[in-house]
């Protein structure tokens, strides 16, 4: 059954319980919840898994046939249906992500404008914040008065964006404090409040995944394969799935790698040895993969994090 037909609850309410297949597009989670309450078995499929089944040209009829064909495949991978709470958490993350991206624009523009007048500021946004008051207020630096005024306006814009990002950071920290699942995830090195809440919002029912590796593959943290004729060839990570979640896990892993020096626990020793053999970026991705698997285990089992249980798999 394809949801591209008449999307009304009465239409599906008059149908006997059946399998309802939909592409995981905008609004799919709402309709999945609505149809599930009517007794139907709803299965959401990523668009990339439907495309191979589309015959000839793309139209509603061929799309419906492709979805119907994909739903019936025994080994098809389905997208877990998100609850209203998960969608709310995800909305907070999406708005915050947009604000952070918007904040980069005035920062780059300020650097570019100042660079044209010979004023160079060290990298990192913190250095820019500290330097701007002196640049704007001091008239002895040789800046044109018009440029100084424009930089002051950009500074106000940056301050406003910082305040708005801080508001959503507080919202995320509040969600983290009130969620028992997020608290357990936050005990893992490399997973903080932002990553923990994003994991809970994205994963939901972790039992939709067979194991931790399948969850890591869903995020895109496992190697791509190009194997043929019995020869196994592994490339870089697949980069499939949720890019935002994958970015958070990798950045968190990089932060955890920066704090392992001097530690003697088995996990830190494993990371130190890996740093000696591989590039730091490779080790960061490996740690992100491991943290994703641990996160799946914690969500699926409801257990607390125990570092000793991860040593053998390291």
Assess if residue 76 is contained within a domain: no
Q: Which of 135-149, 155-169, 285-299 comes out lowest in average pLDDT?
A: 135-149
- 12 within 8 A of 40, measured Cβ to Cβ: yes
49/171 same-domain check: no
174/118 same-domain check: yes
129/221 same-domain check: no
Q: If you write DSSP's letter for every residue of 229-244 in order, what string do you get?
A: TTB--EEEE---S-HH
144/170 same-domain check: yes
Q: Which helix (H) or strand (E) holds 45?
A: strand 41-45
174/187 same-domain check: no
198/286 same-domain check: yes
204/139 same-domain check: no
CA distances from 136 to 105, 131, 146 (A): 19, 9, 11
Assess if residue 258 is contained within a domain: yes
Going by C-alpha positions, the residue among 305, 89, 35 that lies closest to residue 204 is: 89
CA distance 204 to 89: 11
Assess if residue 78 is contained within a domain: no
φ, ψ for residue 26, nearest 5 deg: -60, 130
Of 71, 104, 120, which one is at a domain's C-terminal end? Answer: 71
- 233 within 8 A of 227, measured Cβ to Cβ: yes
191/213 same-domain check: yes
Strands 234-237, 223-225: pairing is: antiparallel
Assess if residue 231 is contained within a domain: no
Instruction: Give the pLDDT score at 2.
Output: 47
94/170 same-domain check: yes
The number of folded domains in the chain is 3
Mutual angle of helices 84-115 and 145-178, in 10-degree steps: 160
Of 143, 178, 213, which one is at a domain's C-terminal end? Answer: 178
Beta-carbon-side half-sphere exposure of residue 195 (alpha carbons within 13 Å):
26
Going by C-alpha positions, the residue among 89, 279, 293 that lies closest to residue 179 is: 89
- 135-155: per-residue pLDDT in tens? 888 777 778 889 989 999 999
Query: Which positions ≥6 away from 183 have C-beta within 8 Å?
Result: 176, 177, 196
Query: Which positions ≥6 away from 73 have C-beta within 8 Å?
Result: none
Beta-carbon-side half-sphere exposure of residue 154 (alpha carbons within 13 Å):
24
- 167-204: per-residue pLDDT in tens? 999 999 999 999 999 999 999 999 999 999 999 998 86
Assess if residue 4 is contained within a domain: no
201/273 same-domain check: yes
- 256 within 8 A of 263, measured Cβ to Cβ: no
- 17-66: per-residue pLDDT in tens? 888 988 888 888 888 888 888 889 888 998 888 888 998 888 888 988 99
Rounded mean pLDDT of 253-277? 86
Q: Is the dihedral of CA 136, 139, 140, 144 positive or negative?
A: positive
Burial class from Cβ neighbours inside 10 Å (0-12, 13-18, 19+) for residue 81 reads buried
CA distance 253 to 242: 17
169/248 same-domain check: no
Provide the domain limits for residue 105.
84-178
Query: Tokens 């991206």 identify what position?
Result: 101
91/147 same-domain check: yes
Assess if residue 77 is contained within a domain: no
Assess if residue 172 is contained within a domain: yes
CA distance 22 to 41: 11
Assess if residue 3 is contained within a domain: no
Please report, rounded to a whole number, the percentage of residues in the chain having pLDDT higher than 70: 95
């Amino acid at each position: 059954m394809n949801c591209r037909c008449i999307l009304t609850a009465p239409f599906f309410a008059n149908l006997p319980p059946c399998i309802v297949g939909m592409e995981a597009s905008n609004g799919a989670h709402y309709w999945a919840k609505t149809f599930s309450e009517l007794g139907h078995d709803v299965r959401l499929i990523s668009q990339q898994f439907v495309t191979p089944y589309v015959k000839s040209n793309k139209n509603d009829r061929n799309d419906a046939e492709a979805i119907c064909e994909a739903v019936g495949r025994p080994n098809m991978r389905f997208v877990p249906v998100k609850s209203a709470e998960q969608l709310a958490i995800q909305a907070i993350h999406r708005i915050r992500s947009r604000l952070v991206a918007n904040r980069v624009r005035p920062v780059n523009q300020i650097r570019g404008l100042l660079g044209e007048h010979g004023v160079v500021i060290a990298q990192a946004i913190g250095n820019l914040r500290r330097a701007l008051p002196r640049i704007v207020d001091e008239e002895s630096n040789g800046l044109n008065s018009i440029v100084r005024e424009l930089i002051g306006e950009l500074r106000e814009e940056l301050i406003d964006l910082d305040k708005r990002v801080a508001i959503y950071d507080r919202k995320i920290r509040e969600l983290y404090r009130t969620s028992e699942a997020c608290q357990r995830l936050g005990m893992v090195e490399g997973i903080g409040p932002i990553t923990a809440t994003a994991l809970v919002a994205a994963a939901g029912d972790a039992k939709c995944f067979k194991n931790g590796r399948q969850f890591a593959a869903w995020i895109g943290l496992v190697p791509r394969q190009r194997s043929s004729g019995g020869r196994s060839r592994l490339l870089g990570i697949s980069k499939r799935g949720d890019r935002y979640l994958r970015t958070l896990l990798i950045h968190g892993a990089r932060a955890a790698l920066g704090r392992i020096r001097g530690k003697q626990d088995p996990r830190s020793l494993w990371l130190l040895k890996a740093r000696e053999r591989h590039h730091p970026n490779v080790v960061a991705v490996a740690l992100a993969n491991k943290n994703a698997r641990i996160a799946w285990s914690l969500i699926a089992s409801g257990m607390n994090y125990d570092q000793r249980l991860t040593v053998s798999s390291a």
